[in-house]
A and B are shown apart, each in its own frame.
Chain A
Amino acid sequence: MTLSQLVRGVVGDQRGSVNRYQTSDRHVVVDHSLCFYCGACVAVCPPDSLFLHNGFLSINDETCTRCERCVRMCPVHALSTVKESS
Chain B
Amino acid sequence: MRQSYDAVVVGAGPAGSVAARRLAERGFRVLLIEKRQEIGVPVRCAEAVGADSTRPYIEIDDRWVKARVSTYSIHSASGACVKIPPTEPTLVVDRKVFDWELARLASQAGAEVRTRTEATGLLIEQASVVGIRVNSLGRSSEVQARLVIAADGIESQVARWAGLKTMPPMADYYVGFQYLLGNLRGRFDPTNCEYHLDQQAFPGGYGWVFPKGDDTANVGLVIAANRAGDVSAQRLLDRFVERKYPEAHILGAVAGGVSATGALKKMVTSGLVAVGDAAHQADPLTAGGINLGMIGADLASQVAADALARGDVSARVLSEYETRWQNRFGAQHRALYRIRKLLTQMEEKQLAHLINVASGLPLQTMGLRELIFTLFKTEPRLLAEVGTLVTTGLILK
Do A and B originate from a single complex? yes
**Which residues in window 1-16 of A have CB below 8 A to B?**
2-4, 6-13
Q: How many residues of B contact A (CB 8 A)?
A: 44
Q: Distance (Å) between the CB of B76 and the closest chain A CB?
A: 24
Q: Cα distance A7–B161 when bound, in Å? A: 14
* Of listed A2, A11, A36, residue having the most chain B CB within 10 A: A11
Q: CB of B162 within 8 A of chain A?
A: yes
- Which residues on B sit within 8 Å (CB–CB) of A55? 36
| In contact, A13 and B121 (Cβ under 8 angstroms) | yes
For the complex of A and B, 8 pairs with smallest distance between CB atoms: A12-B121, A40-B257, A39-B155, A42-B155, A36-B255, A77-B232, A75-B233, A3-B163
Instruction: Say whether, besides A36-B253, A40-B256, A11 and B161 are in contact (CB < 8 Å).
Output: yes
What is the bound-complex CA distance between A46 and B124, given in angstroms? Answer: 22
Contact B256 A52 (CB under 8 A): no
- A10's partner among B123, B228, B255 (CB-CB below 8 A) is B123
A3 touches B167 (CB 8 A): no
Q: What's the minimum C-beta distance from B16 to chain A, rounded to whole angstroms?
A: 15
Among the listed A4, A36, A72, which residue makes an inter-chain contact with B228, where contact means beta carbons less than 8 Å apart? Answer: A72
- Chain A residues lying within 8 Å of B234, measured Cβ to Cβ, are 75-77
Residues A39 and B257 in contact, CB atoms below 8 Å apart: yes
**Minimum C-beta distance from A2 to chain B (A):** 6
Once the chains bind, are A75 and B255 in contact (CB under 8 Å)?
yes
Contact indicator A76/B177 (Cβ below 8 Å): yes
Q: Say yes or no: A73 contacts B155, CB within 8 Å.
A: no
A-B contact pairs, 5 of them (CB 8 A): A12-B119, A36-B254, A39-B155, A72-B228, A75-B175
Q: Beyond the given A42-B157, A52-B155, A77-B232, could you list 13 further A-B residue pairs with CB under 8 A, ordered by the A residue number?
A: A4-B127, A7-B127, A8-B124, A10-B133, A11-B161, A36-B254, A40-B154, A40-B175, A42-B155, A43-B155, A75-B177, A75-B255, A76-B177
Given A12-B122, A43-B154, A48-B160, decide whether A73 and B127 contact each other with a Cβ distance below 8 A: no
- Indicate if the CB atoms of A73 and B170 lie closer than 8 Å: yes
Does A83 have its Cβ within 8 Å of any Cβ on chain B?
no
Question: Which residues of A sit under 8 angstroms from B126, Cβ to Cβ?
Answer: 7-8
Q: Which of B133, B228, B255 has the most chain A CB atoms inside 10 A of its CB?
A: B255
Q: Which residues of A contact B254 (CB under 8 A)?
A: 36, 38
| B269: Cβ under 8 A from any A Cβ | yes
Task: Determine the chain A residues whose CB is within 8 A of the CB of B226 once the complex forms.
Answer: 72
Chain A residues with CB under 8 A of B269: 3
- The contact string, 1 if C-beta is below 8 Å from chain A, for chain B 250-269, is 00011111010000000001
Contact at A11–B121, with CB atoms within 8 Å?
A: yes
